[in-house]
Amino acid sequence: MNPENIDPKFLAQFKKLEEKYDSMGQDVSSYLDGLLYSKYLHYADYIQLETLLSLQRPRTDIPDELIFIIYHQITELYFKLVNWELKQVADCKQVTDVFLQEKVSRLVRYFDNLIHSYDVMTKGMEMEQFMHFRMALLPASGFQSFQFRLIEIYCTDLYNLVDAKYRESLSETPSIEILFEHLYWKHGAQELSSGKKTLTLKQFEEKYTRKLLRNANMYSTKNLWQVVKKLAAKQELSTELKTNLRDFDKIFNVDWQLVHYRTASKYLDKKPEVLEATGGTNWHKYLPPRFQKKMFFPDLWSKEEVENWGKF
């Protein structure tokens, strides 16, 4: 081929490639050989479809258990996206108001999707089938979602996750370790009868305490709330950003909790009897947001809104 006939665009691309590989001491022509022999990318390989579809392993032969597993997996994938955004916020060197608006509105969208799809759980399983397969899942519970606990740690100071009843009794500058011991979910997961830690909690702690504590330490200065406060110390926050933050606080800590709680009630509240949950918490008292009173960005809410948390 006459070099004069080569498309200048192609030559420019080749030059860039050469520069890229030269800078790493690599020979670009060997990589072009690799390109010559490599296979075309297939959709299924790219998204790892076979692996994905092999990850559903029901514990029973009851058909609706598959819905239960897949919807939990879908939720965990959304949690992964949420954490992915939050990590980028924590690691961003030049945070701006617009950047935070974009990130937080993504978080809101992810949870909006979860809430709108929640009737897959609420309405989509046969009660009798649920009653049977749930017994094969003991003592596992969504309570043990590591990613859910990470979202909380990535979003706010540990103090805001401490059980509301214990916050007042803490010393002025409690260590991360002390705060960690009083997190709302640790207090919530106590056996109905004895007040001892549930097996579900013990197993969760055994598997994740070190990882959670490491993250709690790392994110104490770069969680979303800290990043927002640092920006607010330099400039006034836009109304859009404050609205996004409030929306996210509400959608995570109230709206999702409520659709989840209503689903738990539908399946477990067999009046006059209330069934014990697989995780063994006193879930009627533990799950409702009006009791948890957990919020990520407390300064963005009025006194009245805090008092009525979970009731609006």
Q: Catalog residues that contact ligand HEM under the rule CB under 6 A.
A: 71-72, 75, 121, 141-143, 145, 148, 185, 260, 263-264, 267-268, 277-281, 283, 287
R_g of the chain, CA atoms, integer Å = 25
Closest CA to 106 of 232, 219, 230, 244: 244
Using CA atoms, how far apart are residues 138 and 132, in angstroms rounded to an integer? 12
Instruction: CB nearer to ligand HEM: give 227 or 296.
Output: 296
Whole-number minimum distance, CB 140 to ligand HEM, in Å? 9
Whole-number minimum distance, CB 263 to ligand HEM, in Å? 5
Whole-number minimum distance, CB 181 to ligand HEM, in Å? 16
Angle at 135 between CA 131 and CA 138, to 5 degrees: 140
Using CA atoms, how far apart are residues 256 and 277, in angstroms rounded to an integer? 18
Write out the H or E segment, with its range, that includes residue 273: strand 273-274
Whole-number minimum distance, CB 283 to ligand HEM, in Å? 4
Angle at 187 between CA 152 and CA 154, to 5 degrees: 10
Whole-number minimum distance, CB 178 to ligand HEM, in Å? 20
Alpha-carbon 129 to chain mean position: 28
Contact call for residues 177 and 212 (beta carbons, < 8 A): no
Compute CA distances 167 → 75, 156, 218, 262, 281, whole Å.
Answer: 30, 15, 22, 28, 21
Residues β-bridged to residue 240: none
Which residues, in sequence order, are CB contacts of 236 under 8 Å at separation 6+?
A: none
Whole-number minimum distance, CB 127 to ligand HEM, in Å? 10
Whole-number minimum distance, CB 287 to ligand HEM, in Å? 6
Torsion, Cα of 7, 12, 17, 22 (10° steps):
130
